[in-house]
Structure 1
Amino acid sequence: MGHPTRILAALCLLFGAQSALAQVSSPSSAWQPAPSASGTVVPSSSSGPNSQWLEVLGSNLYYYDEQRAGVLPDDFRVDWRNTSVLTDGAVANVNLSAGFFDAGNFIKALFPLTYTLSSIIESALLWGEAYSSSSQAYYLDETLRNGLDWLMEASSQTDTLYMFVGDQTAYWGGDLNIPQPRPVYSVTRENPGTDVFASTATTLALGALLYSGKALPLSQSVNGTLPSSLRNTTYADSLSNRAVQLLELAFAATPMQVYQKAVDDIAWAYPSTDYDDELILGAAYTAMATGNISWVTTAIDTYSTNAYPPTFGALNWDSKRPMVPTTMAQLALFLPGADSRLSFTKFQNDSEVWLDALVAGNMKDTHTTPGGLFWFKGNSASASLNPALNAAVLCLKYAPMASTSAKTDAYRQWAQKQIDYALGKNPMNTVYQVGLHPNSAFNPHSALASGGTDLARINTSPPQELHVLYGAVVGGPDEDDKYYDVRDDYDQSEPALDTVAPMVAISSYFVGQGQSASNPFFVGLTAPRIIPKRPSSGLSGGAIAGIVIGVLLGVALLAVLGWFCWRKRGRNAYRRRKMGL
């Protein structure tokens, strides 16, 4: 780094930049991902966790270092990353320089970040011993503090939450030349974002549980395990207090509305559908973190008036509805007797409405691709692996709480099929986590890693990705199981904070099983990758014909408007517009 950058870094630290320093003792030597060829080595039968699942978990956490923003220490383990965006938030007198870059470019988006952190924290509240046994607790702590500290800074001004940094600037390049200044966007009491107030409260409450040493229940008789080295009651209290403030704001600020109603300028990115799921989750986890029974009542009241349980729909950064009944079941086990309506059996039954439809294959607007990937209509067209893996995590999390052993087995078996698919058991013989195996996806859509600066020649400049983006989980294949592995197909090839999060949970689950864990599918994968020839137009013949007919009939405008409305669902609204391609 050049001298001016070091001066800026020093100033940021002097005037209150988040340090994101882990409290866990750092390892004597930094953990680094193994070469991809190591993915073919069968783990030994020695004691301890399965070494290949450990590699998946370690690489996943390494990805969050690759995405880290702000001041990086001199001994930072990702040697190709640099200190960056030190003035983020300065225009609003708030320091938003740290945190994470969201995906393949350089925005910072709070809404998917809160989902990402919540997912990782929950894995540590259920299967936390995995992080200790794999010597990854230090990196877990680093990752979480970088994200949680950023949320604390973003919510540090009274009745204000800064929830987006950046814009649609089509910059393609490394971290040293990111265009400045970068705009910041906020919601306030007067112009609220109910969903982001509540989702931030959820994440901070979960963080408070973790750092106070309170595990979540795995079942009616067993609690989860914790990485005990993370315990810090002072930090936990700070997180808990802020969670309460934000949740009170979410319920009190009017009108209740999704955040893009307040900040239309960022409606192009991660638009929110509703907010009742965030309110319930926020109240439930805040009740667990604080022991305040009034939040239990609030969670039940909100649940009862918002058409739960759901019968269909994907689980992702936008819609958490499928996980809400399971969280309420956890709440019933965590605070038994807190409210006469807090019945574990009721929420157990509600949880299984969605899960039973999922594993039976009769859920509305879903099907399974020919190769075995579960597909959610209107959601899986972009980042197809993400909703399937999120559902797999929910299956693994809920299985021990199921009403019958048969259901426990069914949920785990369904999850295993989706996990195997992502890790190589698919028609392309592709491992969709970068760097794990010779068959791993190798061309992720990442401005940071590509080494290119020419957006017009994104696929060929350079022809080979400059840096291996270890641990990244790409979007995934299309509905015909085809994966082209090209940078400009960001629906398929772009990793993001939230596409990696379910794999963190999955790998921690398997690491926690020790030597009893079956090897990840890629270990025995010897068949060569299949990389299909990409259609030159990027559109199917039917799509082309449809466009032509639309033009001839004079209804192109109507078709475009319909397409736009449909694409606003899920991540699609972000993917298709964010890079200006």
Structure 2
Amino acid sequence: MEKKKHCRVFKLPKLVQLCTALISIFAILPLSQSFNYGEALSKSLLYFESQRSGRLPHNQRLTWRQHSGLTDGLEQGVDLVGGYYDAGDNVKFGLPMAFTVTMLSWGVIEYGDQIAAAGEYYHALEAIKWGTDYFIKAHTHPNVLWAQVGEGDTDHYCWQRPEDMTTSRRAYKIDENHPGSELAGETAAAMAAASMVFRRTNPHYSHLLLHHAQQLFEFGDKFRGKYDSSVGVAKGYYPSQSGYKDELLWAALWLYKATHKVVYLKYAIDMAHSFGGITWAMAEFSWDVKYAGVQIIASMLPMEEKHKEHIKTLLQYRSKAEHYICASLNKNNLTNVHRTPGGLLYVRQWNNMQYVSTAAFLLTIYADHLQTSNQRLNCNGELVTPNEIFSFVRSQVDYILGSNPMAMSYLVGYGPNYPERVHHRGASEESYRESKGFIGCTQGYDKWYGRQDPNPNVLVGALVGGPDSKDRFRDRRSNYRQTEACTYNTAPLVGIFAKLHGLEREGFTANPSLVSSS
């Protein structure tokens, strides 16, 4: 029998043990791809130039677009030239346009320094102002707001460049007799947020925006009603499923942030229960459903002496905000946001990427708040650090940029492989600059829509609808659920790309795989 050998055990210092353990973890995790977030930021801002309606400025960088919609509002005796087309069609829908501007403004408010460091601050302000200039025009009276130009059904009957439009450009409004509190509230939020952006660089314009925002909030609150009941043509495209109460809370909080007037905070506190702010536990945030955004903003208000009487309600807001964050991180006991096998947040099959970009933005904002206040997120007893949240955000952004089973960048124009047949009228037809020959209503369908060739114009910076629940994607112009892009898809990415670009410059390299993806 062999004599047993006695081996001396050497104990490693705790720091060395920890480093060894971390090396072991990283050794079994796949290395994440490296992406240029600064380039993605630049391209995301360029996208908004492709969606411009009206007379394009001399410094327009996207040269395949030309002037369009130059008679918008003429029939109704009002100047409604300008603004943004929402997606791949030629209608100007007020509600998603306003949400787009709110999210762009929020990104600049939070990450303006990082955007400036990337050399994109001027372009970001231009993108916001193109929207707010239009809102000023559309708000023709304290209690009148023009809600929409064009009509979806007739517009979809044609496949035309915006420069060739022959479809109806009828304009629709909300007023005292035809209320639309969602639209008034969201536009108020957009203008209040934008007023904060321009406060330093253009104080007069900032004051003007704030004046309109306050009037619109008062209008929306005093004359309450669903906007799609007053503007019936919007119902088939941007119906208000959540009603108007979330938009009124949203507008009140943005006005509080912009003015610091307690009356707006008191509104959000007093109406918190009856309007659902502290009762709805959400798993999505979008142009329609604002509750998660409301809850995030309210929960980040400082729990200081001046808010002492409101702390109970603010903590209830925080509880619902953290439900949303934990659901996105897959750390709630019951309700979590579904994910694809490749790890992408998945809410629904039609334009799912809008929910990914908004979730990533809210998580980024909240992680910053936790880090600044030296707090941790508590998900059913499990403490989550800000860096873990940032890592998960990065996993979603990297999926968008190409780290996915299809090896496809869903941000058009970024990387070597991206959608080439985006469902977009202007991008899919020959540029007006190249050929000024008129393209008729159905001629576009006959000649361009069904072509198998890539679009002649690249819709740079557009975030398309994205893959299905199994990470599958078909790059077909007719596959609008996956290949159509919308302004509110890309808008939240501006702030996120700026944040990640800043973290990259600071040397933040957390591995996104460390966050649960089941």
TM-score by length of 1: 0.73
How far, CA to CA, are the matches of 2:251 and 2:305 in structure 1?
Answer: 18
In the alignment, residue 159 of structure 1 is paired with which amino acid? N
Aligned with 1:404 (options 376, 393, 405):
376
Counterpart of 1:243 in structure 2 is 213
How far, CA to CA, are the matches of 2:497 and 2:505 in structure 1?
Answer: 13
How far, CA to CA, are the matches of 1:94 and 1:457 in structure 2?
Answer: 35
Q: Write out aligned runs for 1:220-369 (5 A).
A: 231-253=201-223, 256-273=224-241, 274-307=243-276, 308-332=278-302, 337-338=306-307, 340-342=309-311, 345-362=315-332, 364=335, 366-369=337-340
How far, CA to CA, are the matches of 2:231 and 2:318 in structure 1?
Answer: 38
How far, CA to CA, are the matches of 2:209 and 2:279 in structure 1?
Answer: 30
For structure 2, the 5+ residue unaligned runs are 1-32, 378-382, 431-442, 512-518
How far, CA to CA, are the matches of 1:458 and 1:520 in structure 2?
Answer: 45
Does structure 1 conserve the Cα–Cα contact (< 8 Å) formed by 2:142 and 2:219?
A: no
Structure having the higher Rg: 2
In the alignment, residue 398 of structure 1 is paired with which amino acid? Y
| Secondary structure of the corresponding residue to residue 406 of structure 2 | coil
In the alignment, residue 233 of structure 1 is paired with which amino acid? P
Counterpart of 2:4 in structure 1 is none
After TM superposition, give the deviation of residue 366 of structure 1 in Å.
Answer: 3.8
| Secondary structure of the corresponding residue to residue 338 of structure 2 | strand
After TM superposition, give the deviation of residue 212 of structure 1 in Å.
Answer: 1.6
How far, CA to CA, are the matches of 1:385 and 1:304 in structure 2?
Answer: 30
Q: Write out aligned runs for 1:405-484 (5 A).
A: 406-407=383-384, 408-451=386-429, 453-456=443-446, 459-461=449-451, 463-484=453-474
Aligned with 2:91 (options 102, 107, 114):
107
Distance 1:480 1:161, change over 3 A: same
| Secondary structure of the corresponding residue to residue 513 of structure 1 | helix
In the alignment, residue 130 of structure 1 is paired with which amino acid? Q
- Report how many residues are paired: 450
Does structure 2 conserve the Cα–Cα contact (< 8 Å) formed by 1:433 and 1:440?
A: yes
How far, CA to CA, are the matches of 2:331 and 2:351 in structure 1?
Answer: 20
Distance 1:78 1:513, change over 3 A: same
Counterpart of 2:434 in structure 1 is none
How far, CA to CA, are the matches of 1:124 and 1:189 in structure 2?
Answer: 33
Distance 1:390 1:518, change over 3 A: same
How far, CA to CA, are the matches of 2:472 and 2:448 in structure 1?
Answer: 21
Does structure 2 conserve the Cα–Cα contact (< 8 Å) formed by 1:309 and 1:325?
A: no
How far, CA to CA, are the matches of 2:470 and 2:449 in structure 1?
Answer: 23
1:50-82 CA-to-partner distances (Å, cap 9, x unmatched) read 9x2221111111110111111113442211111
How far, CA to CA, are the matches of 1:520 and 1:97 in structure 2?
Answer: 46
Identity across aligned pairs (percent)?
A: 27
Distance 1:293 1:370, change over 3 A: same
Counterpart of 1:393 in structure 2 is 361
| Secondary structure of the corresponding residue to residue 455 of structure 1 | helix
TM-score by length of 2: 0.82
Counterpart of 2:440 in structure 1 is none
How far, CA to CA, are the matches of 2:59 and 2:117 in structure 1?
Answer: 24
Does structure 1 conserve the Cα–Cα contact (< 8 Å) formed by 2:118 and 2:498?
A: no
In the alignment, residue 98 of structure 1 is paired with which amino acid? G
Residue 200 in structure 1 maps to residue 187 in structure 2? yes
How far, CA to CA, are the matches of 2:99 and 2:119 in structure 1?
Answer: 25
For structure 1, the 5+ residue unaligned runs are 1-41, 44-49, 214-230, 522-581
How far, CA to CA, are the matches of 1:520 and 1:336 in structure 2?
Answer: 37
How far, CA to CA, are the matches of 1:266 and 1:331 in structure 2?
Answer: 35
Does structure 2 conserve the Cα–Cα contact (< 8 Å) formed by 1:441 and 1:485?
A: yes
Does structure 2 conserve the Cα–Cα contact (< 8 Å) formed by 1:160 and 1:188?
A: yes
How far, CA to CA, are the matches of 2:405 and 2:210 in structure 1?
Answer: 46
How far, CA to CA, are the matches of 2:168 and 2:245 in structure 1?
Answer: 35
Distance 1:152 1:336, change over 3 A: farther
RMSD between aligned residues: 2.3
Aligned with 1:125 (options 109, 128, 144):
109
